[in-house]
Amino acid sequence: MAYDYAPFPYTPPLGLTEPEQRHAIVIVGAGPIGLAMAIDLAQQGVASVVLDDNNVVSVGSRAICWAKRTLEIFDRLGIGERMLAKGVTWKVGRNFHGDKQVYAFDLLPEPGHKYPAFINLQQYYVEQYLAERAQDFPDLIDLRFLNKVTNHTDHGDHVALSISTPDGNYTIETNYYIACDGAGSATRKRMDLPFEGQTFEEHFLIVDVEMETSPFGNHDTPERWFWFNPPFHNGQSALLHKQPDNIYRIDLQLGPDTDPKEEATEEKVIPRIKAIVGDTPFRLDWMSVYKFRCAKLDRFVHNRVIFVGDSAHVVSPFGARGGNGGIQDVDNLGWKLAAILKQDAPASLIESYNTERVHGSAENILNSARATNFMTPKSPIEALFRNEVLKLAADHSFARKMINSGRLSQPCNLATSPLQTPGDAPILPGFPIIDAPLEGSNVTTWLIAEAQGQFTLVTASPTPLPAIEGINRIGINQQADYPCFISVGGHAETRYGTDKIYLLRPDGHVCAVFNTADPIAIKAAQDRALGATT
């Protein structure tokens, strides 16, 4: 059944009738990134106003692949379990050359993780769940639909915004302006910031079809199928993925010389789908024709204006690094903004968001651009090498590894950032928390559920953890006057070792490791992660 796009209610904002007090944070854009940002801040007691020029969730499935790390972040934001319950979990990907399978991969993670490697879930569900979760914070999240920002000016210590609504125009001021207004960011355009990178000339047709019969044939579990030179389509590539509600995502590469308007019509699309699914009845749910771009801003922080998600960086979709990259931005920025506003950290901590996420998005762009280059050969010689790789792959494993239909999103390693204190441990400083099943007084839980959201010391060693203000403690296989859990299945010991103490940032990244419970060293590492200048 087609998704019901119920509009969100509009209420005339206060600013239309009387001046509003200066806000701490205004978030522009109520897509998945803007909503996640508001929830992250609200969970830390920080109020925000969220402005959106629209009043419905995103039309069409758009971002559908949510990676494990993203789900762990959404778990912290309160919608991870709901996403997992509704989403389609998949782990097997198959790459075909013509009608022959050349390479398959299995993302089946080792056991002992709350979330799988990937789920597929339409962006509109994620936005709906986030919008509903935002309702849990009526005093902290002021959601204003049909409020379009028409101008903004940075005055050094605050930003002034002009906003238009169905009832007229008004202005507000904010200490921080968070631009979550997407790939076509009006904020970025107003500021005339260069958004440079690589544009790919190929057009891709993206179609969602609803059908009862699985096109995966005998494979009952949903998979990711990718074809180079598909037998059913006169083009370079095709991708098939399952979403909830029996909706299947089909991507077809159309080549550079097609007319996108002509291609995005039922007359053109239906025969293309029939070529894949045969006589199976289906319903067209959504379609769109795209050209892809990999581009980013040089800087994501421009004084009081901070860019988050697609407004800061765009990637081609192969690798699922757009939405997943944006959520990692939110995860990185939320605790820093909250610490600055609560005066637990200097305002300069915001610069580390710039450093860490410019680094993360560069990694995403590199991987997405490489995949798209492999899929869209630009010259006869590129096409020749691509085809010979595919031929060799049938017999030789080294060539299978060169086949690139998208290197799927991985959590970012922040080892090079100055916030981390270098050290040696099974999980190195800079890497995110690795999940493990735990048991505490008759409840089964997960490390990611217990340890994220604040600075936390975690250990699976017998060493008692010192009490330090502003740092939570979690002991594994210990008994103490702070939260302690029993490791289930030995996963925590294997993943964390039994002789190390970890200090996690609120976003779950390891910022320091210790061999001894030295409170001075631990406090120094926390200060460093909070951007203290020594």
Stretch that binds another protein, among 194-202, 254-262, 303-311, 384-392 (CB under 8 A): 384-392
In the region spanning residues 4 to 33, those forming contacts with another protein, defined by CB under 8 A, are: none
Closest Cα to residue 308, out of 393, 213, 478, 183? 183
**Residue 67, token pair as written in the block:** 């990676």
What whole-number distance in Å separates Cα of residue 328 and Cα of residue 284?
32
What whole-number distance in Å separates Cα of residue 163 and Cα of residue 331?
28
What whole-number distance in Å separates Cα of residue 139 and Cα of residue 179?
22
Listed in sequence order, the residues at least 6 apart from 152 whose beta carbon sits closer than 8 Å to its beta carbon are 159, 160, 161, 162, 177, 187, 190, 305
Task: Scan for tokens 């998949």, then name that residue.
Answer: 90
* Closest distance to another protein from the beta carbon of 102 (Å): 14
Closest CB to another protein among residues 24, 402: 402
* Closest distance to another protein from the beta carbon of 410 (Å): 20
* Near another protein by CB under 8 A: residue from 178, 239, 289, 389: 389
* Near another protein by CB under 8 A: residue from 11, 45, 150, 385: 385
What whole-number distance in Å separates Cα of residue 529 and Cα of residue 28?
28
Closest CB to another protein among residues 146, 393: 393
For the chain, the farthest-separated pair of C-alpha atoms sits apart, in whole angstroms, at 73
What whole-number distance in Å separates Cα of residue 347 and Cα of residue 156?
13
* Residue 366 in contact with another protein, rule: CB under 8 A: no
Closest CB to another protein among residues 219, 401: 401
* Closest distance to another protein from the beta carbon of 100 (Å): 17
Closest CB to another protein among residues 219, 396: 396
* Closest distance to another protein from the beta carbon of 405 (Å): 18
Closest CB to another protein among residues 6, 384: 384
What whole-number distance in Å separates Cα of residue 505 and Cα of residue 451?
9
Stretch that binds another protein, among 34-42, 171-179, 381-389, 486-494 (CB under 8 A): 381-389
* Residue 399 in contact with another protein, rule: CB under 8 A: yes
457, 420 contact by CB (below 8 A): no
Question: DSSP for 71-137?
Answer: HHHHHHHT-HHHHHHHSEEE-EEEEEETTEEEEEEE--PPS--SS-SEEE--HHHHHHHHHHHHTT-
Total residues binding another protein (CB under 8 A) = 11
Q: How many residues does the chain have?
A: 534
* Closest distance to another protein from the beta carbon of 394 (Å): 12
182 dihedral zone (left: phi>0; alpha: psi -120 to 50; beta): left
Closest CB to another protein among residues 404, 409: 404
Stretch that binds another protein, among 105-113, 138-146, 185-193, 390-398 (CB under 8 A): 390-398
* Residue 387 in contact with another protein, rule: CB under 8 A: yes
455, 472 contact by CB (below 8 A): yes
Where are any strands of DSSP class E within 3-91?
A: 23-28, 48-51, 65-67, 88-90
Q: Which residues partner with 93 through β-bridges? A: 105, 224
* Closest distance to another protein from the beta carbon of 391 (Å): 7
Closest CB to another protein among residues 201, 388: 388
Closest CB to another protein among residues 342, 391: 391
* Near another protein by CB under 8 A: residue from 106, 388, 439, 527: 388
Where are any strands of DSSP class E within 218-335?
A: 224-228, 237-243, 247-255, 283-296, 301-302, 305-307, 313-314
Task: Scan for tokens 């260069």, then name that residue.
Answer: 194
517, 463 contact by CB (below 8 A): yes
* Closest distance to another protein from the beta carbon of 401 (Å): 9
Query: Taking the CB of residue 489, how many other CB atoms lie within 10 A of it?
Result: 11
* Closest distance to another protein from the beta carbon of 393 (Å): 10
* Closest distance to another protein from the beta carbon of 399 (Å): 6
Closest CB to another protein among residues 343, 397: 397
First to last CA, the chain: 59
* Residue 392 in contact with another protein, rule: CB under 8 A: yes
Stretch that binds another protein, among 87-95, 365-373, 380-388, 465-473 (CB under 8 A): 380-388
Residue 29 amino acid letter = G
Q: Which residues partner with 240 through β-bridges? A: 225, 250
Stretch that binds another protein, among 4-12, 31-39, 362-370, 389-397 (CB under 8 A): 389-397
Stretch that binds another protein, among 197-205, 257-265, 285-293, 379-387 (CB under 8 A): 379-387
298, 210 contact by CB (below 8 A): no
Closest CB to another protein among residues 54, 387: 387
* Near another protein by CB under 8 A: residue from 402, 449, 484, 521: 402
* Closest distance to another protein from the beta carbon of 276 (Å): 29
Q: Give the residues lining the site for another protein (CB under 8 A).
A: 384-385, 387-389, 391-392, 396, 398-399, 402
